[in-house]
Amino acid sequence: MPKWAYIQCVPRAATTSDVFNAIAEPRRRQIIDVLGHSGEMPVGELVLAVGLTQPAVSKHLSVLREVGVVAVERRGRERVYRLNGEGLKTVHDWVSVFERYWSNQLNRIKQRSESLARTSKGAPRNEKGTP
């Protein structure tokens, strides 16, 4: 592929409103962890749990809510958050595809031979349309 042809590039990649982005933040993962094993929790307690200011926590919760990883319920003057674990299924499904890479030695060997087969005979890394 000599000439690069500098392909027209899309303006920008969408980053927000994406589960992968939501869990990229250590603090948000922490919140998810806490909610995951405590069932539910109002903002106030989450603030104490993660050690951030209340506004900061609220913002993280907002992000998590937008991507559907948590759900809120107004209870009195509190806002009780609970984990909606199903929102993480997307991530799980995506990584699970690569499970063969670490599952066990047998599978690792199998995967390697598959790879070799692809590279030498059948379809040697031919994503684009070079015949």
Please tell me whether residue 29 binds its own copies under the rule CB under 8 A: yes
Please tell me whether residue 20 binds its own copies under the rule CB under 8 A: yes
Please tell me whether residue 44 binds its own copies under the rule CB under 8 A: yes
- Coil vs helix vs strand at 74: strand
Contact residue for its own copies among 58, 59, 65, 91 (CB under 8 A):
91
Please tell me whether residue 130 binds DNA under the rule CB under 7 A: no
Contact residue for its own copies among 62, 98, 109, 110 (CB under 8 A):
98
What gap in Å lies between CA 44 and CA 21, rounded to an integer? 24
Please tell me whether residue 106 binds its own copies under the rule CB under 8 A: no
Find which of DNA, its own copies, none residue 36 binds, CB within 5 to 8 Å per kind: its own copies
41 Cβ contact partners less than 8 Å away, ≥ 6 residues apart: 34, 35, 49, 80, 81, 82
Cα–chain-centroid distance for residue 65? Answer: 14
Please tell me whether residue 101 binds its own copies under the rule CB under 8 A: yes
Please tell me whether residue 79 binds its own copies under the rule CB under 8 A: no
Decide: 64 and 96 in contact? Cβ < 8 Å: no
Find which of DNA, its own copies, none residue 20 binds, CB within 5 to 8 Å per kind: its own copies
Neighbouring CB atoms inside 10 A of 54's CB total: 12
